[in-house]
Structure formats: C-alpha cells, structure tokens
Chains A and B, each alone.
Chain A
C-alpha cells in the first residue's frame, strides 16, 4: 500500500515534469542546459527531487496527523506498542528498493558522462589565479580569458570613488570567450598552474576540477548556439569569485570563419613581435602600456598602488627587486617565483608588454629609477 502510493505519485509527478518542458532559465531550479547530458542530469535531479517530496509528504503527513490528533490536550492516551520487527523490515526494504530504482538511471548517465572517447575537438583548459587559459589542441593556438567587469562596478566600499552602476553581465563577462561549434564532441583537458580550480558551465552540466600537475577529462556536445556563462567552482584564493567562464557557441560555418581569423591573428602577432624586437620603446609609451598591463595582470595581488598586502603579497613600491638589478626584475616577472603565488608571465604577455610592465613597476609610485626596459632586454627563456 505504502509502496504503491509512492510509485503512483512519483509517476504522476514525472509525467507532469515532462509536460512542463518549456525552456526558460529558472531562478529556482537547475537549468536543463543545452546538451543531451545536461538534460539527462536535469531529469535525474527532478526524479530524485520528486521521490524526496513524496517520501516527505508520507513521513511528515503521518507526523502531523499525530501532532494534531494524538495530543494530550485532546485527551489522547498513549498506546503501549513499542516494537515490531515486521515494520522495521518493511521500512528498511522499501527505501532500499527505491534507491536501487534510482541508482540504475544514475549509473548509466554517469558512465556516459565519463566517456570522452571519439572526440572531434580537444581544448586544454588551464586555471590559474584568477583566469582561465584555453588551448586549441588541433590548431596550436590559445589565449587567456580575463574578467572585464571594471573595479568601479565591483568596489562599493564607503571609501570607493567613481562607483559605476553594475552592467547586465556583472562578474560574468570576459575579454576573450571560449568559442566552440555546435554538434561536435568536444573533449576538455583540464588542469591548473597553481591551486585547484574548477571549470563549470551549468548549461553543459560540466564541472571538473583543475588540479595542478594532473590532467582531468570532460566532454560536451552542444545542441544550441548561444552564449553560456559559468564560474570557477573551487575556492582558489582571494579572487575566486572573480574568474568567470564565458563560452560562445557558433554554427559550424561561423566557427570555421572564427577559426581562420584566429589563425591569421596568431600569424600577425608573431610578425608584430619580431618587429617589436627591432623597435625602441620610449618612456611615455612604456608607462601607458605598462600601466594597462599592470592593472589587468598584477594589481589583484600587488594592488593598484603597488603596496601589496602585507604578509600575503609583497609590495613593489620601494621593493629591492623593483629598484635593483633589471635582469633579476625581468626574470621574476617572466619566469615567476617557484613555490609562491608569483606566476610566470612570459607565457601570458608579449615581450613588448613584459618590457613595458617592468618599466612601469620601476618608475611608478615613486620608484623613480628612470630605467626604460627594451624588448631586446627581455630574454624570454620559454618559446611562446
């Protein structure tokens, strides 16, 4: 009887959920997403939710019946029964059967989710404090993706100045989106440079930890073109809340056009880098470019005013490195400092940007060394 009610109610609710399949991103519920997997995950979510609701109604129903009818103030006299092996067995076995029924579809979805074989495209995703890097394995190019929400929108402290109203995609917007085609099986190879991050796009039902030194796999096949947003899901330090993921999904032909543009850009950037080697940077030019680079890449830790955060991130203002030997300064910016949060920026910046930011650090905030670092000074140890 008990069991019949549960199964009956569950099947009614399930058919209701199937009928209510209208695509609107919910504020209350999990997204159905844009992949077959995300739809299957949503279905599992709804089945288990309904099972819980039905069990809840039965259990709490019995309890409230008791609370209302078996109260002393209504003259209820306590019954004497206090054990029944039969009843204990029944309410051990019924949940067990329900759970087995639930485990079967969950198992098949899980096995499918973990099978990333026979993929068409491979993207390597690398998390680092606090940005994502996307490498297109099949075409040998890649780029970083950084938050673009300006600090004037984020910082609303009582001492903040120039507060701007928040934009529509506040905290969920980046300078370069990951671009993917529809209908292809895309394999993600996910790793990290420093701490553990987690790459999560709810619309694909993909959440996979990025572990430093290890590579995890995940995959997706997207059905609908569009822009999908996600966030880092694993606490990764101070700006964990500020490393969004934006994926632009295109029709295959648009994707091919985009890919050609990217390959051309890579070629022209290479040419620009060669030209930069021969050119000479002026102080003014370096300071302007350097400040831009500093604000996007360095200020999160070393702070806009170069003062750092005592005990966590060292100050650059008046620091021995920024005022001392230029080669050492370039080396630490280009190659990072092992076993610390200082990253190797030679992979992230062009030689020109690197030279400019070093110049900026040596001349800003009263670090008046007067040094102008040239591209030729930047001895990149790692080929880009």
Chain B
C-alpha cells in the first residue's frame, strides 16, 4: 500500500541526504532535516513546505494590512460628508487596498497552498526548482515594501485605482508612480517564477502511475492557473512599462496628443485583468473540489467534466476582457461579441456548481469548518456569478458599470469566493501542516461570524449600486446614507472576525490534540498517506499509484 512506502521513504530522509534531494546546499547537511536554525532557515530555505508557510504567513499579513485600509474606507463612508480622510488619501486607500488584496493576499495564498500541497499530492519530494522557489517568495516582501513606502512620499502613493487607467496614472499621477511600476514588476516576476515552478513540477515530477486524469483537481486547476499566469503577467508588465515611459520619458502610448489612445490602455490592462480574475478563482475550484467530496464521503461527481470545464473557462477568459469596457465607446459589433462570450463563460462555471451539488446529493454529510466554508463558497460565489451574468448584459451594464453593484459583484467572487476557499483550505490542511487539530469550536465561531458579517458588508452594496451610487467616491448623496452605515458596520465586524482566524491558527501551530495521518474520514489523496505533521521532505521514494 501507499502508506507503507511513503512512511518508509520519509524515515530514510531523516537519516541521510537522499540522492533525489538537491544536494548543492552549503549549510550543514547532516543535521536533523539538514536545515539551519532560526531566521536563516527561512531566508535560505529551498523546502517547499517552508516556502509554502512563508507565502501563507505573508499573505495573511497582507490581508490584515489591506483589510486595515478597507476599514479606513468604510470609516470614511460611515456617514455622508468628509470626516476622517482627505479625498486624495481616500483614493490612495482604495487603490492600495485593491493592489494588496489581489497581489499580496489572494495570489500569494494560492501560491503558498500550491507549494505545500502539489508535491504531496502528486507524489514528488519537493518542487522542481527549489532555489527559484526561494527567490520567487523573497522578492515579494521587497515589492510590497516599495509599494507601501510610496504612501509616505511627497504627493502620496498611487491614487488612480488598482486598475490605474491612463492618463490619470500617467500625466496626472503623483511622482511615486515610478515606485508603483517597479513594485508591480517585481510582483509580476514573482508570479511568473512561481507559475513556471508549478508547471515544471506537475509535468515532470508526478509519481509513476499518476496520470494527468488521476491528478487531484487542485493540481489540475493550479496547472491551468499557472499557464494563465505565464500568459498574462508579461502583458501586465508591458502595461506598467508603457505607463512608466508615458509619464517619465515622453512617450504617448496612451495620450491622444501624441497619437496614442487612453482606451488602448484599458484593452491591454483587461487583457491581463480578466484572465487574472480566473487566476484568483480557479485554484478555489480545486480546493472546493477536494473538500466537498471529503465531507460528503462520496467521490467527486463528474471529475473529467470538471477538468474540461476548468480548461474551457481558462480559454474563454481570453475572449471576454472588453466586458469591463462597455462604456468606453466600442463599436456595437465588439460589444455584442464580448457580451456573448461573457454569457458563454457562465456555462462551464455553472457546470462546476452543478457537479458540486451532485457530489453532495445522497452523500453522508458532516459539517466541520472546512466544509462550512466550502458550502458558503458555493452559494456566495454563485451569487457573485449571478451578478456577473447580469453585468454581462451590455445594455444593463451601462447602468451597473462603475457603481457599487460592481463592487458587490467582485467582492462576492473574491472575498466569499477566493478568500473563503483559502480559509476552507487552511482549516482542511492545518492538521496535516501542524500535526495538531485546530480548535473546532473557535473555527465554527470564525465561520459564522464571517458569514453573517460578510453578507451585511457586501449584500447591501447591490442596492446602493442599483440606486445609483458610483464607486470610488469618498462622499455620497443623502439617499445612500443608511445602507452605507449598515455596510460599514458589516465591514468592521468582518474585519474583527478575521482575528479569530489568527487565534485559531496560532493555537493550532502551538499544540492541541494530535492529528492522525488522515483526520477526515472521507478524505482521499496522497497527502493523507503521509504522517501528520508531514515530514520535512515529502515522498522521497515515489509512492505507488493504483
């Protein structure tokens, strides 16, 4: 059986440097697990689990910083009038909140999960490119240090929205734009390196017998995500470079006076930006596809259709970018094309949801915290999908565009979508990571507090948007006052609820009930054949896949 082989393998690795392991390390090779102690362990590490942990901790830190900015935004919007911050600073908060949550919280969290789980799930000892792995993490904190430091520059940090539309981000932007561009470049390099590592690992390091159609869906969704990243991050790099040269070196890519076009910016940005949306949701699909079967004690319904649906979404994601731009004055033929493609992309997404429900159907369900988050994901992500379908209807989009309806839509898919799935993943794999069970009671409190507050926070935004409140405004007309107050209260409650998660994780890392190798009755996959906590090196002898 697998169990015997893998356990044997990991014992071997504790004694000696195994031949499969990269033996080019300069530090002590004979120490236990041959890793340096203290801070140097983390700075020099090439171990997929250590790097995964770094990514996850960094991502949670960014989640708190970006969240603090959201708290400032909601405090200012608590009542009409300007009470706390100046409009220019408000714009910096909305901009940097978006950038941090997208590039600092969600994407690194998924990369962290990929690092931890992919080698364990495909029967590999580590990621294929461990030194690059180290580098792709450690340039991230530098990028965010640069981005955050720009807030303290004269003239302030980026204030043009996370979408940085030209010419607001070029001719009319603060001098710190150079730092913004540089920070985005570094984040992009980090993402590309991480994605290359995932692709190389999955293609080359699967255990014998682990065919593509036997891979767990989390691995599949990440493989597809990684290709999306490699395809579009260079486009983002090109965009920011053009912003840089337009602002500082006299080019006119986006300025009509020099023969350029500000709408060109939006086409290039959203050619990156829409696949980016799926980059932030496909790994979620993988996570939920692991958790729902486990707690339903039933195999995932329609595995192969899930794989095909994911691939279809990824391909279609390159054909819908201009649905962000219906009001820019496109020709009607283009508007129709992008409307149809956008409506079409809801079909494979729907297939996924139907498959999850069919998996639960006639299962034997229990509701531990990971399952609760996964179920909330399906429902709330679907609500975000519904508002997305509404936004696809171009004539209606003319009314919805750039209002709080859009803000509600993308927070449903990103917070109750991506972030809820990350929470679910954390609860699901924490016993494997730490060797301890987390506090189930606290986990449930965290879930219910988050679920209620997140809906108080984002649901009324639909009404605000439909009633006509534009997004990205520091002040608003009086008819929007009571919903904004409610939204702010939900916001503060959701922010505070996340501190419970911090407590759960710290408590779990420090001790608690010992977790068995397979703490979840219905779980399947190679990671559960390894002891908990998982040994420092994963499958040093390839497991046998039946």
Which residues of A line the B interface, CB within 8 A? 26-31, 37, 40-41, 44-45, 48-49, 52, 55-56, 59-60, 62-63, 66-67, 70-73, 76-84, 87-88, 91-92, 95-96, 99, 102-103, 106-107, 109-111, 113-114, 129, 153-158, 166, 168-172, 194-196, 198, 200, 202, 205-209, 211-214, 216-217, 230-242, 309-312, 339-341
Contact = CB atoms under 8 A, between A and B. Distances in A.
Interface in B467-499: 467-468, 470-479, 483
B343 A82 contact: no
A174 to B, nearest CB: 13
Interface string B392-412: 011110110111000000000
B139 interface: no
A83 B362 contact: no
B82 A154 contact: yes
12 contacts: A48-B390, A49-B390, A70-B361, A78-B362, A79-B298, A82-B298, A82-B300, A102-B393, A213-B262, A231-B470, A241-B470, A241-B476
B364 A45 contact: no
B273 to A, nearest CB: 15
Given A196-B168, A207-B398, A211-B262, A62 B155 contact: no
B402 A198 contact: yes
Contact of A60 (B303, B335, B379): B379
B327 A209 contact: yes
A211 B165 CA distance: 11
Contact of A78 (B82, B84, B364, B398): B364
A236 B302 CA distance: 47
Interface of B: 80-84, 87-88, 91, 153-156, 159-161, 165, 167-168, 171-172, 174-176, 255-257, 261-263, 296-305, 327-329, 332, 335-336, 339-340, 343-344, 346-347, 350-351, 353-355, 357-367, 375, 378-379, 382-383, 386-387, 389-390, 393-396, 398-399, 401-403, 463, 466-468, 470-479, 483, 522
- The 10 residue pairs across chains A and B that have the minimum distance between CB atoms: A311-B155, A213-B256, A241-B473, A311-B154, A216-B329, A52-B386, A82-B299, A156-B81, A79-B362, A233-B402
A361 B301 CA distance: 73
Contact of A82 (B175, B303, B346, B389): B303
Contacts of B360: 63, 66-67, 70
Nearest to B394: A110
B335 A88 contact: no
Given A70-B362, A241-B476, A310-B154, A114 B398 contact: no
Contacts of A63: 357, 360, 375, 378-379
Given A27-B467, A155-B81, A92 B167 contact: no
A226 B256 CA distance: 37
B472 A240 contact: yes
Given A211-B329, A235-B168, A309-B88, A48 B361 contact: no
Given A48-B393, A56-B386, A170-B80, A30 B399 contact: yes
A66 B364 contact: no
Contacts, number: 300
Given A56-B382, A92-B347, A198 B327 contact: yes
Given A233-B401, A235-B471, 5 more contacts: A76-B364, A99-B346, A171-B475, A208-B329, A213-B257
Contacts of A202: 399, 468
Nearest to B483: A27
A211 B303 CA distance: 47
Contacts of B305: 83, 88
Contacts of B375: 63, 67
Contacts of A239: 87
A83 B382 CA distance: 22
A66 B365 contact: yes
Nearest to B298: A78
Contacts of A170: 80, 477-478
A113 B328 contact: no
Contacts of A236: 168
A217 B366 contact: no
A216 B82 CA distance: 33
A170 B476 CA distance: 8
B165 A235 contact: yes
Nearest to A33: B399
Nearest to B88: A238
Contacts of B175: 311
Among B304, B361, B522, the one with the most A-chain Cβ atoms within 10 Å of its Cβ is: B361
Contacts of A168: 478
B301 A81 contact: yes
